[in-house]
Amino acid sequence: MPIQLKIGAVLRKRYKIKRIIGQGGKGCIYLAEDLRLTGRLCAVKEVEHDPTFSPDILKEAREQFHREATVLARLDHPNLPKVSDFFSIKGCDYLVMDYVPGDDLRTLMLKASKQGKFLPEADVLAWASQLADALTYLHSQDQPILHRDIKPSNLKLTPSGLLKLVDFGLVKLLAPGEVTITILQGQGTALYTPLEQYGGDSGHTDARSDIYAFGATLYHLLTNQIPINVRDRFLDPESLIPPRQINPNLSPRTDRAILWAMQLHPADRPQDVQSFLHALFDDTAPITQPYRTKRSQKVMQPLETALAAVTGGLTLISLILTLIRSL
């Protein structure tokens, strides 16, 4: 766990730390005051590299961070926070972004849930339209960009009603020939992560990975229930409860679209964000791979085979440990 910066610390003689607004295993996100631009608040994301890295690997990781941060700094979209600066200090890299005021969608959902209510479908779909605009922009770059950690807490609603997709911690740039480079190692948040993303950086993820997380996020927002993770769904394909069974007020159209986006295999999902958006808003939109509660007996190679091996190995280890404890 990185050592937290002290309140009042100043980075690069410019960014004065006010408080922590987020925290993870590889660093914190701080609210900071920009001393050069009076009155401007910004979010400073800290990334600490593995201390076991050799000097050569650390140098390569840092160069990669700077290359990709440069790409992020060129992005300009109303539903994305603007990346304005990046730098390194000792063992940490820092990414400076616009500070986005307002509540995140997870907070809004929890407020509704405590009142025994669901978020209005019309509101959630309006937010979905804004998120789709941001993802379409990212995916359509000359070097397509995947977010890889879409979830309710990474979606903030400003006082003016503008949705912002925040936290570029797991952003992946898709290079030609499906070679991938990743700003930060990581798999995303398990509850919203598709099956293929557990393969790490082996090149299996594409726009459909973000679409799965998009669908899982809408599922959570509209049902107040956390979606079952893909590892459990792999073991029991019928364990995902359709959202309309939890929230009967949902339209059949929204129910079908979400289940389509949350298919285990990428080939069964919408192939791009616009196809998913069309399914969310148009009753006549074709769903080319309709939701199936039972998959065929054919194993989805190579991802499902790998996951089955891991699951079996973990089960065996658990049994061995149980036997050892009983001796």
Q: Name the one residue in this structure whose structure tokens are 């990346």.
A: 83
Q: Which of 30-39, 144-153, 240-249 has the lowest mean pLDDT?
A: 144-153
Distance from C-alpha of 183 to C-alpha of 179, rounded to nearest angstrom: 14
Beta strands in 25-91 (DSSP E): 27-34, 41-48, 83-89
Is the model's pLDDT at 323 over the cut of 70?
no
Q: Which of 49-53, 251-255, 304-308 has the lowest mean pLDDT?
A: 304-308
Residues in the chain, overall count: 327
Which CATH superfamily hosts domain 10-98?
Answer: Phosphorylase Kinase; domain 1 (3.30.200.20)
Beta bridge partners of 157: 103, 163
Active site residue 149: yes
Of 108, 67, 60, residue with least CA distance to 220: 108
191-216 burial, b at 16+ Cβ within 10 Å, e below that, comes to bbbbbbbbeeeeebbbbbbbbbbbbb
Is the model's pLDDT at 179 over the cut of 50?
no
pLDDT cut 90: percent of the chain above it? 53
Q: Residues 44-71: pLDDT tens digits? A: 988 887 778 888 888 888 887 888 788 8
Is the model's pLDDT at 139 over the cut of 90?
yes
Among residues 93, 149, 206, 268, which one is catalytic? 149
From residue 281, give the alpha-carbon distance in Å to each of 142, 256, 284, 289.
28, 11, 9, 17
Query: What pLDDT shows up at residue 309?
Result: 53
Question: 255: which residues sit within 8 A by CB, 6+ positions away?
Answer: 242, 243, 244
Long-range Cβ pairs for the range 110-117 (8 Å, 24+): 112/224, 113/224
Distance from C-alpha of 43 to C-alpha of 21, rounded to nearest angstrom: 8
Which CATH superfamily hosts domain 103-295?
Answer: Transferase(Phosphotransferase) domain 1 (1.10.510.10)
Distance from C-alpha of 195 to C-alpha of 258, rounded to nearest angstrom: 16
Distance from C-alpha of 239 to C-alpha of 280, rounded to nearest angstrom: 23
Of 152, 150, 208, 202, residue with least CA distance to 180: 202
What residues does each domain of the chain span?
A: 10-98, 103-295, 296-327
Of 123, 112, 28, 37, residue with least CA distance to 82: 37
Query: What pLDDT shows up at residue 57?
Result: 85
Kindly tell me the burial class for residue 29, based on how many C-beta atoms sit within 10 Å of its own C-beta (0-12, 13-18, 19 or more): buried
Helix (H, G, I), strand (E, B) or coil at 73: helix
Of 133, 148, 125, residue with least CA distance to 77: 133
Query: What pLDDT shows up at residue 129?
Result: 98
Q: Which residue has the higher pLDDT, 130 or 149?
A: 130
Peptide bond into 302 cis (omega under 30): yes
pLDDT cut 70: percent of the chain above it? 78
Q: Please calculate the CA angle 288-152-73 and round it to the nearest 5 degrees.
A: 90
Q: Residues 154-170: pLDDT tens digits? A: 999 999 999 999 876 54
